Amino acid sequence: MTSTDSFRSLARTLETLVLGQSALVERLLVTLLADGHLLVEGPPGVAKTRAAHTLAALIDADFHRIQFTPDLLPADLTGSEIFRPQDGSFHFERGPLFHNLLLADEINRAPAKVQSALLEAMGERQVTIGQETHVLPRLFLVMATQNPIEHEGTYPLPEAQLDRFLMHVRVGYPDTAIERDILRLARAEALAGADSPASPVPTPAVTPDDVFAARAAVLDLYLSPELEDYILQLVAATRAPERYVPELSGSVRFGASPRASIAFDRCARARAWLHGRDYVSPDDIRSLAPDILRHRIIPGWEAQADGITADSLIATLLDHVPVP
């Protein structure tokens, strides 16, 4: 199979194991191919952890899950220097950050120092302990989750830190038909694992080397100058929406940063590649726009009082910014 076919097969396998979350599966693969990190918001029990764990198994990558809690310390992520009394030396014990795929579960339940340690590693791809700098694995993806309920005792991520996530995806409950399939899948997995304490582990579909080769192919995909200009206009419209919709004057306190333009460029190419095309289409850009922009836009106070949200602003801009 070609590299594209391998990843499309990977997507199909993921969708059969993570039922009812096809949008999350696609965004997770786009994030992997774009070499970024993903923030997922959704209620408990909708397969967020399962999606990350299954993807790691299918790409033959190390997986680690961290439950973020208020008493977590930065060293619980990065690792720390351990003193060896035998020879009086220090040895660096690596923390969970040194895995290929890290699930940061309920990231908003940890204090700012812990969040900063994670986000620094995401941005710099390294960890500094004392005088030593330790490089993270070449294949390194963080999928962080947020719970939209029970906000008491949480530490919301500042907008500047949110901007480091390639996309912010929202997932919901499956419909009744899908939930019936979930029941049957859970029953089948329980029967298959009845003689073993571990759940069945999927056979790897691609290797990390396949991922690196796919990333190179994605970057080489064709993006027309007209669509590049469309991306820049969309991002600029989040900063000055009145240029396209006069009624939105003053509705935005802060718009998307240049990281949004970079995210559009990489994610649109990755989505087009996953769909078997060698060029980016306007649909690639428009379908990804809410997930790329929603965490990068801060509506003004009056706009919020009028019920205007980041998502509604994005929908309005998509209707008014001309498509080439």
* pLDDT of amino acid 200: 54
Residue-level pLDDT at 217: 94
Q: Which CATH number applies to 3-207: 3.50.50.60, 3.30.1490.190, 3.40.50.300, 3.30.750.24?
A: 3.40.50.300
Contact 39, 165 (CB under 8 A): yes
* Predicted confidence pLDDT, tens digits, the chain (324 residues): 457 888 999 999 999 999 989 999 999 999 999 999 999 998 888 889 999 999 999 999 999 999 998 898 888 888 877 777 877 777 778 888 999 999 999 998 888 888 888 888 888 898 887 777 889 999 999 999 988 776 666 777 877 778 899 999 999 998 999 999 999 988 888 887 655 444 556 777 889 999 999 999 999 999 999 999 999 999 999 999 999 989 888 888 989 999 999 999 999 999 999 999 999 999 999 999 999 999 999 998 888 888 889 999 999 999 999 998
Alpha carbons 324 and 322: distance in angstroms, whole number? 6
Q: For the stretch 127-148, what's the b/e string if a residue is b when 16 or more beta carbons lie within 10 angstroms of its beta carbon?
A: bebeeeebebeebbbbbbbbbe
Fold of 221-320: Helicase, Ruva Protein; domain 3 (1.10.8)
Polymer length in residues for the chain: 324
CB atoms within 10 A of CB 173: 12
pLDDT for res 2: 54
All residues at 6 or more sequence positions from 83 whose CB lies less than 8 Å from its CB, including other chains: 89, 90
Closest-CA residue to 143 (of 195, 105, 113, 180): 105
Write down the pTM of the prediction.
0.91
Domain boundary assignment for the chain: 3-207, 221-320
- pLDDT confidence of residue 277: 93
Please report how the helices 48-58 and 3-17 are oriented relative to each other, as an axis angle in degrees rounded to 10.
Answer: 140
CA distances from 294 to 56, 136, 165, 197, 246 (A): 27, 28, 11, 41, 21
The reply to whether 221-320 shares the fold of 3-207 is no
Q: Where are the beta strands (DSSP E) in 234-275?
A: 252-254
Strand locations in the chain, DSSP E?
38-41, 63-67, 79-84, 89-94, 101-105, 126-129, 132-135, 141-146, 167-170, 252-254, 298-299
| Tokens at 121, concatenated | 């590693």
The conformational region for residue 318 under phi > 0 = left, psi -120 to 50 = alpha, else beta, is alpha
